[in-house]
Amino acid sequence: MSAPLLVAEGLEKRYGRLPALRSVGLRVASGETLGLVGESGSGKTTAGRIVARLLKPDAGRIVFAGEDWLALRGAELRRRRRELQIVFQDPQSSLNPRMRVGDQIAEPLRVQGLARGTELRDRVGALLGEVGLPPALAERFPSELSGGQRQRVAIARALATRPRLVVCDEPVSALDVSVAAQIVNLLLDLRERAGLSYLFISHDIAVVARVADRIAVFYLGRVIEEGPARDVTARPLHPYTVALVSAAADPDPAGTRKRMVLAGGPPDARNPPSGCPFHPRCPIARERCREELPALREVSAGRTAACFYPGELP
Protein backbone atom coordinates (compact mmCIF):
# COMPACT_ATOMS: atom_id res chain seq x y z
CA MET A 1 0.00 0.00 0.00
CA SER A 2 1.17 3.54 -0.69
CA ALA A 3 1.94 5.84 2.23
CA PRO A 4 -1.02 7.93 3.50
CA LEU A 5 -1.16 11.55 2.40
CA LEU A 6 -1.68 12.71 6.00
CA VAL A 7 -0.78 11.03 9.28
CA ALA A 8 -1.38 12.74 12.64
CA GLU A 9 -0.37 11.04 15.86
CA GLY A 10 -0.80 11.90 19.52
CA LEU A 11 -2.23 15.39 18.96
CA GLU A 12 -2.78 17.29 22.21
CA LYS A 13 -4.16 20.79 22.64
CA ARG A 14 -5.16 22.79 25.71
CA TYR A 15 -6.72 26.21 26.06
CA GLY A 16 -5.59 27.13 29.56
CA ARG A 17 -7.15 24.50 31.84
CA LEU A 18 -9.43 23.24 29.07
CA PRO A 19 -8.14 20.17 27.20
CA ALA A 20 -9.42 20.34 23.63
CA LEU A 21 -7.60 17.32 22.19
CA ARG A 22 -6.34 14.24 24.00
CA SER A 23 -3.94 12.01 22.03
CA VAL A 24 -5.80 12.18 18.72
CA GLY A 25 -4.59 10.27 15.68
CA LEU A 26 -5.84 10.68 12.09
CA ARG A 27 -4.93 9.17 8.72
CA VAL A 28 -6.05 10.31 5.26
CA ALA A 29 -5.11 8.49 2.07
CA SER A 30 -4.68 10.23 -1.27
CA GLY A 31 -8.11 10.78 -2.85
CA GLU A 32 -9.90 9.86 0.39
CA THR A 33 -12.33 11.83 2.54
CA LEU A 34 -12.14 11.43 6.31
CA GLY A 35 -15.14 12.83 8.14
CA LEU A 36 -14.81 14.19 11.67
CA VAL A 37 -18.11 14.28 13.55
CA GLY A 38 -19.22 15.14 17.07
CA GLU A 39 -21.01 17.69 19.22
CA SER A 40 -19.84 21.29 19.61
CA GLY A 41 -16.76 21.31 21.80
CA SER A 42 -15.77 17.74 20.92
CA GLY A 43 -12.43 18.84 19.43
CA LYS A 44 -13.07 18.15 15.74
CA THR A 45 -12.56 21.75 14.59
CA THR A 46 -9.42 22.11 16.73
CA ALA A 47 -8.01 19.00 15.04
CA GLY A 48 -8.78 20.42 11.60
CA ARG A 49 -7.19 23.76 12.36
CA ILE A 50 -4.07 22.09 13.70
CA VAL A 51 -3.80 20.08 10.47
CA ALA A 52 -4.15 23.34 8.51
CA ARG A 53 -1.38 24.92 10.62
CA LEU A 54 -3.75 27.60 11.96
CA LEU A 55 -3.20 26.30 15.51
CA LYS A 56 -0.11 24.84 17.10
CA PRO A 57 -0.54 21.58 19.03
CA ASP A 58 0.93 21.15 22.49
CA ALA A 59 2.14 17.68 21.55
CA GLY A 60 2.01 15.23 18.65
CA ARG A 61 3.29 14.97 15.11
CA ILE A 62 1.87 15.40 11.63
CA VAL A 63 3.37 13.98 8.46
CA PHE A 64 1.93 15.48 5.28
CA ALA A 65 3.05 14.22 1.87
CA GLY A 66 6.02 12.52 3.52
CA GLU A 67 7.28 15.61 5.36
CA ASP A 68 7.22 16.70 8.99
CA TRP A 69 4.40 19.23 8.59
CA LEU A 70 4.89 20.89 11.98
CA ALA A 71 8.64 21.45 11.41
CA LEU A 72 8.19 23.62 8.30
CA ARG A 73 8.89 27.32 8.75
CA GLY A 74 9.09 30.55 6.75
CA ALA A 75 9.36 30.34 2.97
CA GLU A 76 9.27 26.55 2.95
CA LEU A 77 5.99 26.51 4.88
CA ARG A 78 4.52 29.14 2.56
CA ARG A 79 5.50 27.10 -0.49
CA ARG A 80 3.99 23.90 0.90
CA ARG A 81 0.78 25.62 2.03
CA ARG A 82 -0.39 25.54 -1.57
CA GLU A 83 -0.90 21.79 -1.13
CA LEU A 84 -3.20 22.07 1.91
CA GLN A 85 -6.03 24.59 2.04
CA ILE A 86 -9.12 25.19 4.19
CA VAL A 87 -12.77 26.15 3.64
CA PHE A 88 -14.36 27.77 6.69
CA GLN A 89 -17.88 27.47 8.06
CA ASP A 90 -19.15 31.00 7.40
CA PRO A 91 -18.16 32.48 4.02
CA GLN A 92 -19.49 35.88 5.03
CA SER A 93 -16.78 36.19 7.69
CA SER A 94 -14.03 34.29 5.83
CA LEU A 95 -14.24 36.57 2.76
CA ASN A 96 -13.02 40.17 2.90
CA PRO A 97 -16.07 42.44 2.42
CA ARG A 98 -13.89 45.19 0.91
CA MET A 99 -12.28 43.07 -1.80
CA ARG A 100 -13.88 42.02 -5.05
CA VAL A 101 -14.48 38.31 -5.49
CA GLY A 102 -11.93 37.99 -8.28
CA ASP A 103 -9.19 39.64 -6.22
CA GLN A 104 -9.81 37.24 -3.33
CA ILE A 105 -9.54 34.19 -5.57
CA ALA A 106 -6.43 35.66 -7.22
CA GLU A 107 -4.67 36.44 -3.94
CA PRO A 108 -3.29 32.92 -3.23
CA LEU A 109 -2.08 32.73 -6.84
CA ARG A 110 -0.21 36.03 -6.41
CA VAL A 111 1.24 35.05 -3.03
CA GLN A 112 2.48 31.73 -4.39
CA GLY A 113 3.75 33.30 -7.63
CA LEU A 114 1.64 30.92 -9.72
CA ALA A 115 0.12 33.41 -12.18
CA ARG A 116 0.00 37.07 -13.11
CA GLY A 117 -1.40 39.41 -15.73
CA THR A 118 -3.73 37.90 -18.30
CA GLU A 119 -3.03 34.38 -17.07
CA LEU A 120 -4.13 35.39 -13.57
CA ARG A 121 -7.42 36.80 -14.85
CA ASP A 122 -8.04 33.68 -16.93
CA ARG A 123 -7.29 31.39 -13.97
CA VAL A 124 -9.79 33.29 -11.81
CA GLY A 125 -12.49 32.94 -14.48
CA ALA A 126 -11.75 29.23 -14.82
CA LEU A 127 -11.92 28.69 -11.06
CA LEU A 128 -15.30 30.43 -10.88
CA GLY A 129 -16.49 28.15 -13.67
CA GLU A 130 -15.24 25.08 -11.78
CA VAL A 131 -17.51 25.91 -8.83
CA GLY A 132 -20.52 26.71 -11.01
CA LEU A 133 -20.33 30.53 -11.05
CA PRO A 134 -20.14 32.86 -14.06
CA PRO A 135 -16.78 34.65 -14.55
CA ALA A 136 -18.63 38.00 -14.42
CA LEU A 137 -19.02 37.54 -10.66
CA ALA A 138 -15.31 38.33 -10.30
CA GLU A 139 -16.24 42.03 -10.24
CA ARG A 140 -18.79 41.67 -7.45
CA PHE A 141 -18.30 42.13 -3.72
CA PRO A 142 -19.26 39.33 -1.27
CA SER A 143 -22.23 41.35 0.01
CA GLU A 144 -23.76 41.18 -3.48
CA LEU A 145 -23.83 37.37 -3.45
CA SER A 146 -26.07 34.80 -1.80
CA GLY A 147 -24.77 32.54 0.97
CA GLY A 148 -24.37 29.63 -1.41
CA GLN A 149 -22.51 31.78 -3.95
CA ARG A 150 -20.18 33.07 -1.24
CA GLN A 151 -19.33 29.51 -0.19
CA ARG A 152 -18.63 28.61 -3.81
CA VAL A 153 -16.23 31.57 -3.97
CA ALA A 154 -14.52 30.34 -0.79
CA ILE A 155 -14.14 26.90 -2.37
CA ALA A 156 -12.74 28.43 -5.57
CA ARG A 157 -10.19 30.35 -3.48
CA ALA A 158 -9.17 27.15 -1.69
CA LEU A 159 -8.75 25.36 -5.04
CA ALA A 160 -6.70 28.16 -6.62
CA THR A 161 -3.32 26.63 -5.72
CA ARG A 162 -4.39 23.11 -6.77
CA PRO A 163 -4.10 21.60 -3.27
CA ARG A 164 -3.89 17.89 -2.52
CA LEU A 165 -5.89 18.12 0.74
CA VAL A 166 -8.68 20.52 1.68
CA VAL A 167 -9.92 20.88 5.27
CA CYS A 168 -13.67 21.60 5.14
CA ASP A 169 -14.70 23.04 8.51
CA GLU A 170 -18.52 22.82 8.75
CA PRO A 171 -18.79 24.09 5.14
CA VAL A 172 -22.58 23.72 4.88
CA SER A 173 -23.86 24.30 8.42
CA ALA A 174 -24.52 28.02 7.76
CA LEU A 175 -26.58 27.29 4.62
CA ASP A 176 -30.19 26.24 4.16
CA VAL A 177 -30.88 22.61 3.32
CA SER A 178 -31.25 22.90 -0.46
CA VAL A 179 -28.16 25.08 -0.87
CA ALA A 180 -26.19 22.82 1.48
CA ALA A 181 -27.05 19.83 -0.71
CA GLN A 182 -25.76 21.69 -3.77
CA ILE A 183 -22.46 22.50 -2.03
CA VAL A 184 -22.06 18.86 -0.90
CA ASN A 185 -22.61 17.69 -4.49
CA LEU A 186 -20.10 20.28 -5.72
CA LEU A 187 -17.46 19.02 -3.25
CA LEU A 188 -18.05 15.44 -4.36
CA ASP A 189 -17.77 16.43 -8.02
CA LEU A 190 -14.56 18.39 -7.41
CA ARG A 191 -13.05 15.43 -5.56
CA GLU A 192 -13.62 13.21 -8.58
CA ARG A 193 -12.41 15.74 -11.12
CA ALA A 194 -9.35 17.01 -9.23
CA GLY A 195 -8.44 13.91 -7.22
CA LEU A 196 -8.77 15.85 -3.96
CA SER A 197 -8.58 14.53 -0.42
CA TYR A 198 -10.84 16.08 2.21
CA LEU A 199 -10.86 16.35 5.97
CA PHE A 200 -14.58 17.05 6.31
CA ILE A 201 -15.78 18.38 9.69
CA SER A 202 -19.44 18.48 10.71
CA HIS A 203 -21.78 17.93 13.65
CA ASP A 204 -24.25 16.24 11.27
CA ILE A 205 -23.38 12.58 10.78
CA ALA A 206 -25.84 12.30 7.87
CA VAL A 207 -23.93 14.96 5.92
CA VAL A 208 -20.60 13.35 6.80
CA ALA A 209 -21.86 9.94 5.67
CA ARG A 210 -22.81 11.44 2.29
CA VAL A 211 -19.31 12.83 1.73
CA ALA A 212 -16.84 10.66 3.63
CA ASP A 213 -15.18 7.33 2.91
CA ARG A 214 -14.34 6.92 6.60
CA ILE A 215 -15.67 8.57 9.77
CA ALA A 216 -13.91 9.42 13.03
CA VAL A 217 -16.30 10.20 15.89
CA PHE A 218 -15.08 12.74 18.47
CA TYR A 219 -16.21 13.02 22.08
CA LEU A 220 -14.64 15.30 24.68
CA GLY A 221 -11.38 15.68 22.76
CA ARG A 222 -10.93 12.00 21.88
CA VAL A 223 -11.68 9.80 18.89
CA ILE A 224 -14.08 7.17 20.25
CA GLU A 225 -14.99 5.35 17.04
CA GLU A 226 -13.62 5.09 13.53
CA GLY A 227 -14.38 3.04 10.45
CA PRO A 228 -15.84 3.04 6.93
CA ALA A 229 -18.68 5.56 6.70
CA ARG A 230 -21.32 3.02 5.67
CA ASP A 231 -20.42 0.68 8.50
CA VAL A 232 -20.27 3.39 11.16
CA THR A 233 -23.72 4.72 10.26
CA ALA A 234 -25.35 1.32 9.64
CA ARG A 235 -23.83 -0.53 12.59
CA PRO A 236 -22.39 1.97 15.10
CA LEU A 237 -20.30 0.37 17.84
CA HIS A 238 -20.12 3.13 20.44
CA PRO A 239 -23.34 4.19 22.24
CA TYR A 240 -22.53 7.84 21.51
CA THR A 241 -22.38 7.08 17.78
CA VAL A 242 -25.74 5.31 18.09
CA ALA A 243 -27.15 8.54 19.53
CA LEU A 244 -25.67 10.64 16.69
CA VAL A 245 -27.14 8.32 14.06
CA SER A 246 -30.53 8.28 15.76
CA ALA A 247 -30.59 12.10 15.80
CA ALA A 248 -30.00 12.36 12.04
CA ALA A 249 -32.94 13.01 9.77
CA ASP A 250 -34.54 9.77 8.56
CA PRO A 251 -34.53 9.78 4.71
CA ASP A 252 -37.56 7.48 4.70
CA PRO A 253 -40.77 9.50 5.38
CA ALA A 254 -42.39 6.31 6.67
CA GLY A 255 -39.33 5.32 8.68
CA THR A 256 -39.62 4.05 12.21
CA ARG A 257 -36.24 5.23 13.50
CA LYS A 258 -36.45 6.16 17.18
CA ARG A 259 -34.29 8.93 18.57
CA MET A 260 -32.00 8.05 21.46
CA VAL A 261 -32.20 10.88 23.98
CA LEU A 262 -29.04 11.28 26.04
CA ALA A 263 -29.18 12.29 29.68
CA GLY A 264 -27.88 15.83 30.09
CA GLY A 265 -25.15 17.51 28.10
CA PRO A 266 -21.43 16.74 27.71
CA PRO A 267 -19.49 16.86 31.00
CA ASP A 268 -17.13 19.70 31.85
CA ALA A 269 -13.93 18.99 29.91
CA ARG A 270 -11.89 20.65 32.68
CA ASN A 271 -13.21 18.11 35.17
CA PRO A 272 -14.22 15.00 33.23
CA PRO A 273 -15.81 12.04 35.00
CA SER A 274 -13.67 9.09 36.02
CA GLY A 275 -13.44 6.11 33.72
CA CYS A 276 -15.17 6.44 30.36
CA PRO A 277 -16.08 10.13 29.87
CA PHE A 278 -19.37 9.08 28.25
CA HIS A 279 -20.58 6.86 31.09
CA PRO A 280 -22.82 9.48 32.84
CA ARG A 281 -24.93 9.67 29.64
CA CYS A 282 -24.61 6.06 28.49
CA PRO A 283 -27.66 3.75 28.79
CA ILE A 284 -25.49 0.59 29.03
CA ALA A 285 -22.79 1.90 31.40
CA ARG A 286 -21.55 -0.56 34.02
CA GLU A 287 -19.21 -0.42 36.97
CA ARG A 288 -16.15 -0.96 34.80
CA CYS A 289 -17.11 2.06 32.69
CA ARG A 290 -17.09 4.24 35.81
CA GLU A 291 -13.63 3.08 36.86
CA GLU A 292 -11.56 2.48 33.71
CA LEU A 293 -10.86 4.58 30.61
CA PRO A 294 -11.43 2.43 27.50
CA ALA A 295 -8.69 2.62 24.89
CA LEU A 296 -9.45 3.01 21.19
CA ARG A 297 -9.04 -0.57 19.98
CA GLU A 298 -9.78 -2.66 16.92
CA VAL A 299 -13.12 -4.41 17.28
CA SER A 300 -13.28 -5.87 13.78
CA ALA A 301 -11.45 -5.38 10.50
CA GLY A 302 -11.23 -1.63 9.85
CA ARG A 303 -13.42 -0.78 12.87
CA THR A 304 -12.16 0.73 16.14
CA ALA A 305 -14.06 1.86 19.22
CA ALA A 306 -13.23 3.13 22.70
CA CYS A 307 -15.88 1.08 24.47
CA PHE A 308 -15.81 -1.98 26.71
CA TYR A 309 -19.13 -3.23 25.28
CA PRO A 310 -19.10 -2.20 21.59
CA GLY A 311 -22.17 -2.94 19.52
CA GLU A 312 -24.39 -3.93 22.46
CA LEU A 313 -26.75 -1.00 22.00
CA PRO A 314 -29.05 -1.56 18.97
Give pLDDT tens digits for 73-121: 999 999 999 999 999 998 889 999 999 999 999 999 999 999 889 999 9
Number of separate helices (H) and strands (E) present in the chain: 11, 12
Share above pLDDT 90 across residues of the chain, in percent, rounded to a whole number = 84
The arithmetic mean of pLDDT across residues 125-147, rounded, is 96
Taking the model in full, what pTM does it have?
0.93
Residue range 254-271, pLDDT digits in tens:
556 677 777 777 888 899
Cβ atoms of residues 279 and 289 within 8 Å = yes
* Cα distance from N-terminal residue to C-terminal residue, the chain: 35
Cβ atoms of residues 216 and 223 within 8 Å = yes
Residue among 215, 223, 221 at smallest CA distance from 296: 223
Helix H or strand E encompassing 178: helix 177-194
How high does pLDDT run on average in the chain?
93
pLDDT of residue 3: 78
pLDDT of residue 251: 58
The arithmetic mean of pLDDT across residues 159-174, rounded, is 94
The arithmetic mean of pLDDT across residues 118-128, rounded, is 95
Residue type (1 letter), 204: D
pLDDT of 151 higher than 70: yes
Cβ atoms of residues 211 and 230 within 8 Å = no
pLDDT of residue 249: 62
pLDDT of 237 higher than 90: yes
Backbone angles phi, psi at 204, to 5 degrees: -100, 105
Q: Which domains does the chain have, with CATH numbers?
A: 6-83+163-305 (3.40.50.300), 95-158 (no CATH)
pLDDT class for 1, splitting at 50, 70, 90?
A: very low
